[in-house]
Amino acid sequence: MIMNVIIIIFVLGVTYAWMIRGMFSSLLHLLCVITAGAIAFAFWEPLAMLLVKASPERGFMSFIESIAWGVSLVVPFVILLLVLRFATDKLVSGNITNSKVIDYAGGGICGLATAVISCGILVLGVGSMRVPTGFLGYQPLWYSTDRATGSGALVKADTLWIPVDTIVSKMYRHLSNGTMSTNESLGKWYPELELVGFASRVSPGDGAGRNAVSPDDFKVKATYTVGATDGSETLTDLLNDSINDEAQKYLDINSERVTKGHLAGFVVEFEPGAKERGKKGGQLVVSNGQYRLLLEDADGNTMTAFPIAAISESSEADMFGRWRFDANDIFITSVGGKSRVLMSFEYVIPTGYTPIAMYVKNVRVSTSSLPDPVEYANITERDRVILSGAILKGESVSRKLDTTNMIVYDSSIQSGFINRSFKISQMMSSQVAKRGLTLNEKNEVVDGVGTFDLKKDVGRKNVPQAKNLRVDRYAVSKGQVLIRIDISEESDFGLFSEAAKGALIDQPLLLIDSKGNEYEAIGYEYTDSKTFETRYTRGSTLTGLEDAPNLSRSRSDQKLVLLFIVTNKVMITNFAIGDLGVAEFDPPMEALGG
């Protein structure tokens, strides 16, 4: 309702403003608006990618990622429009006077078109930013609630009273396939342009999750199909699995039933940078809106499809499951503490259509660059490889370590170099902690980087005794364990040990479990004679030693402890820096919360 009122006021105001300026001036401005919009859309996708990549992981400017897709459309449009208006004003300094009727009628028509296009681009831009899914009461895409036809499927929903977003979307899509056609047309890759911004905002907390990622944050590793791909198979049998008694119901984006086709799966490996940040950091959260698939028929017409299910590791060790998107607000969360997370997304491919691109939070991946699909004849074959975890290919491939100087460390010895504890080594007050750290309602550190004075800020002498006023623990999610690895000078496998000799500063700091799964350092604690510094960023790993404070052989007061989040109950076998094996733990160290 609010969005509709704002748009009506905007359209009427702009239309009136140009109506009284006359037909010729209004026509020139309309041409400038159309041209500015076309150029803005042409640079929209690459500019958004640049902004997302440039956005820092934390700090004041980290908000750039959340507004990148909207800013990349609106700001170029405004700048281009101003430049074009300035140029036309210089080239055409005079005006043409017509009768008042012609000026008012022509000016009003051109002004209305200007208002609709400008407002449409603004709506599309704002809709691509990280705003709530219920922002100003407009939800162009939402869940189907009819269980008989397919509840939980994302379908076209609200339309505006003056559908400026849809009009602009159709207009520029048509131009990209006609007068302004290119090999990479907007109409081909964004057939539902007016919906993509909203789809990227479908996340927990009314759109509070991340709505953008960098292309470097994930990789589509494998593909597969289920059922006959010639279109001869009825979908009912394929929309079942070994867990549920009833076949899943499915509606496409236009709320239409699909009766024939096959399933296609895409296995995605997510890097640590794809995880949520801040208070919800450390885990990957996915929805069916943020992972869409683009389908193309034999005539070149394209259509968007959303996943019907996701496959991932379950909360039970070495178990895997297939989770349906068959109700409102279903969000699949990664479990454990693996640095890299593998998930698969399954889609219905109607007869006559072929997948040509997958979009991961708006990042486009062409299927032509992906491996050929593995073919599963039926759901029984697929479910068998789901239960074994084999469908998520590459999950247990071990890194080949250089073991030349690697030491064998007796992890049963409690020497203090390894510790399994959620506690912070230096207690502090909540007021002091908030200078650089984010706390939850339990006063646990959930995110941030902070440097504190040992004499004034931390330690029992400077911290209130009341539990609700002190901070002494890190927060971890269910199924995760915090492990601390001391790499100071006195440590048997510290940075100055023979085992760590030759370690590169830009290589990841790793714990490796018995199955080859890797866990990158998510923070550190550094202490010297004056300061205590901690970094705890579950949604962002250290790129290497270059992200940690420097240690010097000349100083005996320095201590550096790396922080790792690992999956509960796994057996940790190695500590490594990139491909350099530093320590082998014998016996393997079981990750149990301490």
Cβ proximity of 461 and 432 under 8 Å: no
End-to-end CA distance of the chain: 52
Tell me the per-residue pLDDT of 474-531, one tens digit each, with 9 for 90 and over: 998 888 899 999 999 999 999 999 999 989 999 999 999 988 888 999 999 999 999 9
pLDDT at 540: 83
What residue type is assigned to position 186 of the chain? L
Cβ proximity of 294 and 302 under 8 Å: yes
Q: What's the CA gap between 38 and 43, in Å, rounded? A: 9
pLDDT at 396: 43
Lowest mean pLDDT among 8-12, 13-17, 384-388, 507-511: 384-388
Cβ proximity of 152 and 255 under 8 Å: no
Judged against a pLDDT cut of 80, whether residue 148 lies above it is answered with: no
Q: Which residue shows structure tokens 């049963």? A: 412
**Crossing angle of helices 100-127/164-177, nearest 10°?**
90
Q: Which two tokens stand for residue 349?
A: 């491919």
**Strand boundaries in 188-340, DSSP class E:** 218-226, 261-270, 285-286, 291-296, 302-305, 309-313, 320-324, 332-333
Residue 587: asked if its preceding bond is cis (omega within 30°), the reply is: yes
What residue type is assigned to position 205 of the chain? G
pLDDT at 102: 86
DSSP secondary structure code for residue 206 in this structure: H
Tell me the per-residue pLDDT of 544-575, one tens digit each, with 9 for 90 and over: 999 999 999 999 999 999 999 988 888 999 99
Distances, alpha carbon 392 to alpha carbons 269, 292, 314, in Å: 9, 19, 13
Q: Give whichever of 216-225, 236-245, 312-321, 334-343 has the largest mean pLDDT.
A: 216-225
Residues 353-361: what's their mean pLDDT? 97
Q: What's the CA gap between 394 and 526, in Å, rounded? A: 35
Judged against a pLDDT cut of 70, whether residue 446 lies above it is answered with: yes
Judged against a pLDDT cut of 90, whether residue 331 lies above it is answered with: yes
Of 296 and 58, more confident: 296
Q: What's the CA gap between 5 and 7, in Å, rounded? A: 5
Q: Which two tokens stand for residue 563?
A: 């922080």
Residue 88 CA from chain centroid, whole number: 42
Q: What's the CA gap between 84 and 258, in Å, rounded? A: 47
pLDDT at 103: 86
Tell me the per-residue pLDDT of 390-432, one tens digit each, with 9 for 90 and over: 888 544 456 789 999 999 998 887 566 888 888 999 999 999 9
Cβ proximity of 483 and 571 under 8 Å: no
Cβ proximity of 524 and 542 under 8 Å: yes
pLDDT at 28: 95
pLDDT at 384: 80
**Spans of all domains in the chain:** 2-129+160-177, 209-388, 407-422+476-590
What residue type is assigned to position 187 of the chain? G
Going by pLDDT thresholds of 50, 70 and 90, the confidence category of residue 257 is: very high
Distances, alpha carbon 344 to alpha carbons 140, 427, 539, in Å: 27, 42, 21
DSSP string, 317-338: TT-EEEEE--STT--EE--S--
DSSP secondary structure code for residue 213 in this structure: -
pLDDT at 393: 57
Distances, alpha carbon 395 to alpha carbons 268, 305, 374, 594, in Å: 11, 27, 16, 27
Task: Supply the pTM of this predicted model.
Answer: 0.84
Judged by phi (left if over 0) then psi (alpha if -120 to 50, else beta), residue 255 lies in: left
pLDDT at 361: 96
Tell me the per-residue pLDDT of 167-198, one tens digit each, with 9 for 90 and over: 999 999 999 887 666 677 999 999 999 999 99
Distances, alpha carbon 548 to alpha carbons 347, 423, 534, in Å: 42, 20, 10
Residues above pLDDT 90, as percent of the chain: 70
DSSP secondary structure code for residue 546 in this structure: G
DSSP secondary structure code for residue 542 in this structure: -
